[in-house]
C-alpha cells in the first residue's frame, strides 16, 4: 500500500525527516503529505507521488511496490514533475501508436478502469495530473514501468523494472 511504503521509507532513513521538513523537501503541503501517510488520501496525483519519489531518491514504481527496498541508495536521473505531464502524454501516445492496429481503445480503457473520455483527456493534456494508480494501471497494461511512462530515467537493470544501484 502506498501510504505504508512511504511511511516505511521515512522510518528506514532513521527518522531524519520530520513531516514538516520532508514536506518542504518534497514541495508538498504538509497536510497533503499527512493525509497520504494516514491513509485519508488513498490515490494521490502522479505529480505528488513523483515529488515524494524524487525526495526519497527512488522510483515511483518502488513506492507502489508491496515489497520494501532501499530506494534511498539508488542513483536516479530525475525529471521535473512538471515534465512528467508532457512525458505521460508523449509516452502514452507513442506506445499506443506503436501498437498500431492492434490497439483497441475500448479494451485498453476497460483494463485500466477509465472511460474513453478520460483517456482522451490524458492524451490531449486536458488532465494534467492523473491519479497515480490510474498511471500504474496504464503502465501495467502497456507492459512498462510507471517511471518509463512518466519519463523518469532510472538507469535500469535490463532484467528489472525498477532502478538498481550503479
Domain boundaries, the chain: 2-73, 81-149
Contact (CB, 8 A) for 38 and 19: no
Contact (CB, 8 A) for 142 and 150: no
Q: Please, which residues bridge with residue 131 across strands?
A: 45
* Sign of the Cα pseudo-torsion (120, 123, 128, 132, in order): positive
What would the pLDDT profile of 44-73 be if each residue is shown by its tens digit? 999 999 999 888 888 898 888 743 344 433
CATH of 81-149, one of 1.10.260.40, 3.40.50.2300, 3.40.50.300, 3.60.110.10: 1.10.260.40
Kindly list the distances between the CA atom of residue 42 and the CA atoms of 10, 39, 115, in Å, as whole numbers in the listed order.
18, 6, 20
Topology match between the domains 2-73 and 81-149:
yes
CATH number belonging to domain 2-73: 1.10.260.40
Residue 6's nearest CA partner among 24, 27, 44 is 44
SS3 11: helix
Is the model's pLDDT at 75 over the cut of 80?
Answer: no
The model carries a pTM of: 0.68
Contact (CB, 8 A) for 164 and 155: yes
| DSSP letter, residue 80 | P
Amino acid at each position: 500500500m502506498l501510504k505504508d511504503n512511504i511511511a516505511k521509507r521515512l522510518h528506514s532513513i532513521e527518522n531524519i525527516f520530520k513531516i514538516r521538513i520532508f514536506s518542504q523537501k518534497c514541495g508538498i503541503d504538509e497536510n497533503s503529505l499527512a493525509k497520504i501517510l494516514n491513509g485519508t488520501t488513498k490515490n494521490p496525483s502522479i505529480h505528488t507521488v513523483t515529488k515524494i519519489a524524487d525526495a526519497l531518491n527512488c522510483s515511483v514504481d518502488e513506492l507502489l511496490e508491496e515489497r520494501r527496498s532501499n530506494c534511498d541508495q539508488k542513483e536516479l536521473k530525475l525529471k521535473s514533475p512538471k515534465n512528467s505531464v508532457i512525458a505521460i502524454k508523449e509516452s502514452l501516445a507513442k506506445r499506443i501508436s506503436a501498437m498500431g492496429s492492434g490497439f483497441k481503445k475500448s479494451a485498453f480503457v476497460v483494463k485500466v478502469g477509465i472511460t474513453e473520455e478520460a483517456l482522451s483527456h490524458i492524451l490531449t493534456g486536458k488532465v494534467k495530473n492523473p491519479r497515480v494508480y490510474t498511471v500504474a494501471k496504464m503502465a501495467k497494461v502497456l507492459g512498462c514501468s510507471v517511471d518509463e511512462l512518466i519519463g523518469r530515467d532510472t538507469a535500469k537493470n535490463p532484467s528489472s523494472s525498477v532502478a538498481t544501484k550503479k
